[in-house]
Chain A
């Protein structure tokens, strides 16, 4: 049955996250961007929300609540409305944990899920993005070969969230013609982790590059066991999550521009009373609304285990295009103020372009 009604629980989650984003995220967003780091005490505060452990079964130490991707998309939009870097950081542990939850063998769940149910911030990560022109996560250039009872991984990864502190990486690689993912501990021999990468946007969020030089892992490192895993599902989950982040950013830009345009006077009236500005704001509103519909649909299809690849592509590419367009117009509405760092819009503009080309940064 087609329905657009949030459940009562989803409304509660949305409201709680909106409050958290306003109180704990937005106020420190600019300083994180300037410092290129997120304070540990933020990560610990975010950890108490139970964003990752809530959906881990009780048997592995979690709260055992239903795996609810639509709810996660709703909450991620709210967190990203505060700030994209901090939202991704808060949800980062789910990148690795949810992939294990959705695709891991019982043994893998037993081994790794309890890591994310402790009392303080702990994270793994997903290494899906690769450097170089036209790198496409669905066809990784990183390769895995079988060698006796183990796999040997070779390749390069980039934009790996929390590469500086993740205990494990889920590394995507081509295994013959198949798309596979391997669990690689951070101390694996042959794995080199770079210093934090410098990037145009998402500066607060630490990402690193990985270099895998004949990294040898055991049979049990193959996600999903001998049959392998549906790695595209993991990519789809993270692509939808990124779309939700871009949506939150879009709404942040819009909601910043509206009071600004009502306040800023030119030629004896607020610029919001001029159709060139008012219509632009209307268009921004239309597009963030349309993006939300696509994000909900992709998340809902994933949640029900339906074939979601096309819906995910649509949500991600639309969110990327429109969030960039909205941020670009946000800068224009603010004019000179859109260009100086006193206002957050220039940061959102950089973040939007960055988010649109990334993979595997965050999960729902």
Chain B
């Protein structure tokens, strides 16, 4: 049944997320300014908070499905801050997901305990990963791969114990020549030069890696398949499929920030005496101030975006193919969060750009939403192909 009501259990879980987020937010500005440092995994308040927290009810079949809750909780956490957490959950990085998807049992056994980042993007290749320039050349004498290249925007790159990278074993083979390799930190030739300096999400752990004649054992090729398939891009598609849950979650993260901006702006406007009257009809503009009308539209945009994200995660939970929907919600959210945060600043004026408040930070932080996990343009390309029943070759 189509339904939009949260159960008591859903609400209790989201209330908890909100309480944690409120504490994390206290540190938001501080860590934004201390960009070069790493955020602690646990804030000083954590111990007392969790000692006093009542146990959360366990969700049952009558409650909102887990993937939808995951999106709502992501929104809730990012509403507090993009990077700071009261207690960082001990979960693997993107590289761990890649290991789980492509590694042999032996490889999973060997590296499963490590925190692994994932490095695909390079200075000269982003949206089109088939242009990967990092090379892996097999040295048959020593049975080693020799890795050379540069990777950027590596999430959890500083904290990670190792990385799964994409490198080509045959540039002439295009996408078919790209393979995943696992490289542990400390391997000679693997340098982590710095944490990237960014427009937003400054506190986040984003690293740049350089590989100079970095030698790794032959068995560090994930899946151990050294063959280059002809024409088929089966492996590549497998990687692309993992985006169908990560894309809506990326949207949810951005929307959490946008919601923070809306909540802050609403509070300020209400204090200033602005009235939001949702009973007005199409002729009701005469009764709304420009600020009220603009704000109410931004709220509608937010709600539309949030629903596309939730619908996409709901489909994932049902095991339904959601290729189109994951691109739709990512594209919608990517654009919505830009309009919302920029619009809130326009409405509030100078206080929107003052570092005394978090609004300017939220605008910077959420700008990444339309870029990573596939830019808005890439999402539209995917949507257009689906809509027009075009292949990759038909529409580039």
Contact between B387 and A357 (Cβ–Cβ < 8 Å)?
A: no
Known: A134-B286, A137-B283, A294-B303. A4 touches B310 (CB 8 A): yes
Q: Which residue of the partner chain B has the closest CB to A257?
A: B387
Known: A290-B304, A300-B2. A313 touches B280 (CB 8 A): yes
Contact between A273 and B395 (Cβ–Cβ < 8 Å)?
A: yes
Chain A residues near B62: list those with CB within 8 A. 1
A152 to B324, CA, bound (A): 56
Contact between A1 and B308 (Cβ–Cβ < 8 Å)?
A: no
Known: A1-B3, A282-B383, A286-B328. A359 touches B318 (CB 8 A): no
Q: Which residue of the partner chain A has the closest CB to B315?
A: A4
Tell me the chain B residues, 375-396 only, with Cβ under 8 Å from chain A: 377, 379-381, 383-384, 387-388, 390, 394-395
Chain B residues near A316: list those with CB within 8 A. 281-282
Chain A residues near B331: list those with CB within 8 A. 282, 286
Question: Is B342 located at the chain interface by the 8 A CB criterion?
Answer: no
Q: Please tell me which stretch of B16-24, B238-246, B294-302 contacts chain A, meaning at least 4 of its Cβ atoms lie within 8 angstroms of it.
A: B294-302
Chain B residues near A278: list those with CB within 8 A. 380-381, 384, 388, 390, 395
Chain A residues near B196: list those with CB within 8 A. none
Q: Smallest CB–CB gap between B380 and chain A, Å?
A: 4
Known: A4-B310, A282-B384, A314-B300. A136 touches B281 (CB 8 A): yes
Question: Is B36 located at the chain interface by the 8 A CB criterion?
Answer: no
Chain B residues near A235: list those with CB within 8 A. 279, 281
A283 to B286, CA, bound (A): 30
Contact between A291 and B279 (Cβ–Cβ < 8 Å)?
A: no
A70 to B2, CA, bound (A): 8
Q: Please tell me which stretch of A16-24, A101-109, A301-309 contacts chain B, meaning at least 4 of its Cβ atoms lie within 8 angstroms of it.
A: A301-309
Question: Is A210 located at the chain interface by the 8 A CB criterion?
Answer: no
CB within 8 A of B388: which of A10, A135, A281? Answer: A281
Known: A309-B278, A314-B300. A286 touches B1 (CB 8 A): no
Question: Is B284 located at the chain interface by the 8 A CB criterion?
Answer: yes
Instruction: Tell me the interface secondary structure of chain A in the complex.
Output: helix
Contact between A137 and B281 (Cβ–Cβ < 8 Å)?
A: yes
Q: Smallest CB–CB gap between B104 and chain A, Å?
A: 38
Contact between B279 and A2 (Cβ–Cβ < 8 Å)?
A: no
Q: Smallest CB–CB gap between B281 and chain A, Å?
A: 4
Size of the chain B interface, CB-CB below 8 angstroms = 54
Question: Is B259 located at the chain interface by the 8 A CB criterion?
Answer: no
**A280-296 toward B: CB 8 Å interface, digit per residue (1/0)?**
01110110011101101
Question: Is A133 located at the chain interface by the 8 A CB criterion?
Answer: yes
Q: What range describes how many residues of A lie at the interface?
A: 35 or more
Contact between A239 and B384 (Cβ–Cβ < 8 Å)?
A: no
Question: Is A156 located at the chain interface by the 8 A CB criterion?
Answer: no
Question: Is B204 located at the chain interface by the 8 A CB criterion?
Answer: no
Q: Please tell me which stretch of B5-13, B117-125, B133-141, B349-357 contacts chain A, meaning at least 4 of its Cβ atoms lie within 8 angstroms of it.
A: B5-13
Q: Which residue of the partner chain B has the closest CB to A255?
A: B387
Known: A4-B2, A6-B2, A286-B332. A359 touches B383 (CB 8 A): no
Contact between A2 and B68 (Cβ–Cβ < 8 Å)?
A: yes
Contact between B3 and A138 (Cβ–Cβ < 8 Å)?
A: no
Question: Is A5 located at the chain interface by the 8 A CB criterion?
Answer: yes
A296 to B3, CA, bound (A): 8
Known: A279-B380, A289-B308. A136 touches B283 (CB 8 A): yes
Q: Which residue of the partner chain B has the closest CB to A269?
A: B394
Known: A2-B64, A278-B384. A310 touches B2 (CB 8 A): no
12 further contact pairs, Cβ within 8 A, besides A2-B65, A279-B380: A3-B65, A70-B2, A136-B280, A273-B390, A278-B388, A278-B390, A281-B388, A282-B380, A289-B328, A313-B280, A313-B296, A316-B282
9 closest pairs, A vs B, by CB? A134-B286, A293-B307, A314-B300, A278-B384, A313-B278, A282-B383, A290-B304, A136-B284, A282-B380
